[in-house]
Amino acid sequence: MPIVMLMDNNQTAERTITRFVNSVFGPIEHSPIESPQLDQRVRASYHSQITEVSGLGFTYLCSDGESFPLVRLALVLPAVVMFGIWLERRPVSMRGGSILAGYPILVLKAKSTFAHLDGSYVKFLTAFRDGALLVSGNSPNPLPGGPGISRSCQTGTITESWKRHESRIQALELNGGEVDRRSTYDDYVRLVVRDTAPW
């Protein structure tokens, strides 16, 4: 019983942290970057990572524009995050009253998997028709996934992370799982919003 209670307390703390971060940043809006100039800046900034992920069979889908209200910079956490983005010279832009950061999205249609690049970090997302969502990354993520989400995020190379993710896909398929073959930008947004939502 004490072990169960400890697990419940840890899970409650992790959920509280997730909800706190989401409340501080406010709603994160997603939209494809349509400006050729900004898209080119994103692709140039992530050139080496795009090349490595493309070598695994992925193709470039588009650049995802993640934006949040400018007024949130008055709070410490969003300001610190934006300062880190500025130090790493990642592509950012102002749009109305929001700050927009661009990230490359690639897709492997044979496996219906999306790859989201963020600096040296890559996140792979694959959905199954029964509602399961596999998420793998090459950097630790201490927060658990929400209902139906299975995360495996640990230090490693992009290739190692993909091989681990691919093995997880195959294991589910051997147990009768069927991959959700939808692979448009809107499908990506649906998955990433689910992965980052407070629960």
Q: What is the per-residue pLDDT across 40-74, written as a single tens digit (0 to 9) for each?
A: 999 999 999 999 999 999 999 999 988 765 544 44
pLDDT at residue number 141: 78
Q: 20 has which bridge partners?
A: none
pLDDT over 70, % of the chain: 68
pLDDT digits (tens, 9 = 90+) for 109-149: 887 899 999 878 899 999 999 999 999 999 887 666 788 99
Instruction: Evaluate whether 18 touches 143 at the Cβ level (below 8 Å).
Output: yes
| Phi and psi angles of residue 179, each rounded to the nearest 5 degrees, phi first | -65, 140
Residues 6+ apart with CB under 8 A from 190: none
Whether the per-residue pLDDT at 78 is higher than 60: the answer is no
User: What does pLDDT average to over the chain?
Assistant: 79
**Three-state DSSP state, 48:** helix
Count of structural domains within the chain: 1
pLDDT digits (tens, 9 = 90+) for 147-183: 899 999 999 999 999 999 999 999 999 999 999 999 9
Domain limits for position 122: 2-196
Within 10 angstroms of residue 168's Cβ, the number of other Cβ atoms is 17
